[in-house]
């Protein structure tokens, strides 16, 4: 999802398509160090956006923690090390807001990293992404001056939009709810049951807005990037600035989809982190702001993409 959005943004900014290196998931096993090394030897990229990751919602993270930790550690380590070995000076690594402590003060600032205990339901994924951030920082510290490295991290809030994963058990909250409300509408189901109390608050960002932030951060002068962050911090938050309860989110999605039945919350299931709202003031200093100005507008675009490209794939 994120990689496709970055590609769309780069093309829209005038970069020739034939100069942009992309691979489908089945074309290169990023957990295979030899395969990744061979790719870098052959293609010799100048900049690298690390958007590839194994991702999922609460159920998937809780069910497959070893898969999430191992796969993401390997992807990041292989790409970052191969980049260094083959002369790549600039990397942007995509992380996640789940890297921050469960009880971090809101809105969450970049320096909250490693200041407290993580949310247990996605701890494995968070640890992997923290390792990626620290690996970028470590290469900068050890080789930045001697090799001209500039490896940066971006911590986006919860994402949605074209190319999302609508798997019924492995999707994040927005694609999961779009899929469930659509199927309930089609089947005429009287109610849709949703995990948790509906009270946790979340911030959501359309993936096309994130893509524009990625390109902005990749190309920001080093002095500007360092000036907007505290000393020793090498990652920047990217969010929409607006948060909503899961209950309100479900109501918006049901309205966008056109579902007329009841919404029921199952409080016996976990809520996850009570609140995740990023302080994105520092990325604003670099000149970036989201263009999609309302969640309902963004969800309408996402549902249109679902109808055009994803209906039936989760069956």
Q: What does residue 262 show for φ and ψ, rounded to 5 degrees?
A: -85, 155
Work out whether strand 243-245 and strand 150-156 pair parallel, antiparallel, or are unpaired: unpaired
Residues 6+ apart with CB under 8 A from 234: 133, 136, 137, 140, 151, 152, 153
Give Dmax over CA atoms of the chain in angstroms: 64
Report the alpha-carbon distance of residue 261 to residue 136 in Å, rounded: 48
Q: Is 125 assigned a catalytic role?
A: yes
Catalytic residue among 125, 151, 160, 303: 125
Report the alpha-carbon distance of residue 127 to residue 54 in Å, rounded: 13
3-state percent breakdown (helix, strand, coil) of the chain, nearest 5: 50, 15, 35
Closest among 139, 138, 152, 159 to 53, alpha carbons compared: 159
How far from the centroid of its chain's Cα atoms is residue 59's Cα? 17
Report the alpha-carbon distance of residue 169 to residue 166 in Å, rounded: 9
User: What token pair was written down for 140?
Assistant: 């900068």
Q: Which residues are catalytic?
A: 125
């Amino acid at each position: 999802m994120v990689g496709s959005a970055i590609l769309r943004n780069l093309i829209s900014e005038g970069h020739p398509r034939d100069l942009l290196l992309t691979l489908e998931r089945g074309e290169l096993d990023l957990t295979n160090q030899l395969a990744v090394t061979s790719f870098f030897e052959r293609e010799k990229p100048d900049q690298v956006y690390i958007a590839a990751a194994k991702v999922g919602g609460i159920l998937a993270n809780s069910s497959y923690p070893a898969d999430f930790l191992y796969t993401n550690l390997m992807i990041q380590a292989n790409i970052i090390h191969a980049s260094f070995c083959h002369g790549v000076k600039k990397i942007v690594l995509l992380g996640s807001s789940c890297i921050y402590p469960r009880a971090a003060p809101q809105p969450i600032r970049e320096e909250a990293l490693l200041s407290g205990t993580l949310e247990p339901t996605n701890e494995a994924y968070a640890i992997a992404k923290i390792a990626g951030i620290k690996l970028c920082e470590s290469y900068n510290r050890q080789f930045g001056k001697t090799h001209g490295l500039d490896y940066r991290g971006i911590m986006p809030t919860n994402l949605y939009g074209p190319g999302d994963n609508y798997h019924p058990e492995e999707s994040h909250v927005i694609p999961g709810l779009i899929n469930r409300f659509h199927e309930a509408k089609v089947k005429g189901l009287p109610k849709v049951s949703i995990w948790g109390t509906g009270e946790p608050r979340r911030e959501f960002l359309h993936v096309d807005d994130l893509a524009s932030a990625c390109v902005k951060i990749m190309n920001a002068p080093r002095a500007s990037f360092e000036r907007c962050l505290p000393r020793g911090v090498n990652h920047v938050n990217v969010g929409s600035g607006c948060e909503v309860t899961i209950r309100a989110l479900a109501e918006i999605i049901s309205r966008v989809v056109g579902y007329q039945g009841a919404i029921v919350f199952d409080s016996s299931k976990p809520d996850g982190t009570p609140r995740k709202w990023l302080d994105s003031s520092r990325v604003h200093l670099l000149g970036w702001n989201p263009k999609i100005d309302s969640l309902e507008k963004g969800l309408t675009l996402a549902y249109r993409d679902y109808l055009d490209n994803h209906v039936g794939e989760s069956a």
